Amino acid sequence: MTTLEDILKSKGPMMSSELASIIETKLKIPKNSASQKVVRDKSILKVKGFFSSGQSFCYLEQHTKEFDFFDRLMKSMLENGKKYWFCLNAIKASGGLISQNYLECYTNYPILPLKSHLPFKKVMQKFVENDILIFNNGYYFIAPKLNQSVLNFTQYQTIELIKEDIINNFNSLTKNIGLISYKTGEKFAEYGKFKWAFKGVCPVSGLKENNTFGYLLADILFGHPIYEKDVLFYLEKLKTIQSFKKSSRLLPFLIVDDIDTDALKLLKKNGIIVGFISELFGNKYAETLKELVTVLNNAGASLKKDPNKYLDLIIELKKYNQGLANNIKGALFEFVVGHIHSLENNCSIEIGREIFENGKHEIDVFATNNQKIIFVECKATKGQITIEQVDKWLGLKIPAFKKWASKQETWKNKELEFEFWSVNGFEKNAEEKLKQTSTSATKIKISFLDGKSIRDKALKLKNKKLKEAIDNFFLKTEV
């Protein structure tokens, strides 16, 4: 083991300048010689290209298995490469994954060429090339080797749909009260070469200058705690575009459900309008969304402690926001499936878990008990499941899930079951393929359920609320 390895093993990951300083003292060599020793040493790993003065973040392979490794990398970027830190902070706050649309909003990287600023795509390319992030199908993920938390795609995607619903409502509100001109509201729009969650032309007289209207610009933070550091990206974006010589006058909004006092003070000090969801759209709407996020963030515990909570939320959403209820029907159906398994098989439940095995795959519902492990594919779509979807499940997903399960030492003696639940059933050739496969499978159990089978299960469980939700929301044909 080299001297550098020994230092990192005892003290943990650190910046190259700090490591060089220790080497300088330990070996009694000149500062420049110590720095060169760190640069040339091939026995340690380094993250390069993100830090001031050509520094690097030094670590050992074993450090990536420690729960705080990613936080230490973030802290180093905050202190030595803040312009890159914005990206990692946004992804961390979103649970380890985020869509490109929102990440473009939550960083201070321009999406169009801007002098003396690194563009968004170039910054993200650096993160991907350094194996810090993975880009897949429009989403950025913290690389699995750096992230010790479980990724939950259902949770994130549902919160994203809620945010879009809030933005749509904000569009209607600002249009109806005259804060923006009719039909000028845009979601995920460019202004000043940066991306904003919402933009509209503002005809308010105080913002008009030289016969030119101003603009209302808004971003939204929702679904996680919001602290002072989490709003800095917004202030940086505004600071940059307000420095332009011909910048229009702006009406800046940040939409939030809740926010730390220091963050609120900082925003108000900088003249930002903080739009609380409860104040903009009413307490009932805000409380329903907050309860929904609580259920999403603790799906397994929620189904165990208060299994009917999500059913009550379905009723509330249908009453106050049918559009949102329909948009998140897929996520709510996964709760139904998890609920049934928890009652029927006394299982522990995870919903929307992401795994990386021969690519990225989502386990819609993951149910486990002492005897078996059940992987459930859930579809609440209007159309029937096609043969292509069944082939993907059988040929790609099931092998990946089997391989992943085989690596878990404590599951070696448990039975593996794979289920496909579809509210609107399966096309004829898809159903025939599933019947054939389920009959021929020997080492694992494969089964599939259509709407009638799902309803029959609910009837046997004698849970009135569950049956009504299936009948009146999931199986009811919309006119």
Q: What is the pLDDT of residue 479?
A: 37
Rounded Cα–Cα distance for residues 267 and 234 (Å): 9
Rounded Cα–Cα distance for residues 30 and 157 (Å): 53
CA angle, residues 18, 21, 23, in degrees to nearest 5: 110
List the chain residues with pLDDT less than 50: 479
Q: What is the pLDDT of residue 410?
A: 86
Would you give the distance in Å from CA 122 to the centre of its chain?
22
Backbone torsions φ then ψ of 409, nearest 5 degrees: -55, -40
Q: What is the pLDDT of residue 2?
A: 85
Rounded Cα–Cα distance for residues 357 and 147 (Å): 15
**Coil, strand or helix at 192:** coil
The full set of domains in the chain, from first to last, is 1-65 (1.10.10), 153-283 (3.40.1350.10), 317-474 (3.40.1350.10)
**Coil, strand or helix at 439:** helix
DSSP3 helix / strand / coil % (the chain, rounded to 5): 50, 20, 25
Which amino acid is present at 90?
A
Q: What is the pLDDT of residue 477?
A: 58
Rounded Cα–Cα distance for residues 332 and 316 (Å): 13
Q: Which of 73, 178, 193 is nearest to 133 (CA)?
A: 73
Tell me how far CA of residue 370 lies from CA of 121, 334, 397, 413, 433, in angstroms: 47, 22, 23, 10, 30
Q: What is the pLDDT of residue 148?
A: 75
pTM of the model: 0.91
| Number of Cβ within a 10 Å radius of residue 400 | 19
**Coil, strand or helix at 216:** strand
Structure tokens at 63: 């450090």
Q: Are 385 and 420 in contact (CB under 8 A)?
A: yes
Q: DSSP letters of 325-390? A: HHHTHHHHHHHHHHHHHHHHS--EEEEEEEEESSSEEEEEEEEE-SSEEEEEEEE--SSPBPHHHH
Would you give the distance in Å from CA 377 to the centre of its chain?
20
Q: Are 340 and 311 in contact (CB under 8 A)?
A: no
Using a 10 angstrom Cβ sphere, with 0-12 exposed, 13-18 middle and 19 or more buried, the burial of residue 278 is: middle
Backbone torsions φ then ψ of 381, nearest 5 degrees: -75, 160
Beta pairing, strands 45-48 & 56-59: antiparallel
Side by side, the strands of the sheet bearing 214-221 are 186-191, 194-202, 214-221, 250-256, 273-276
Structure tokens at 19: 């490591």
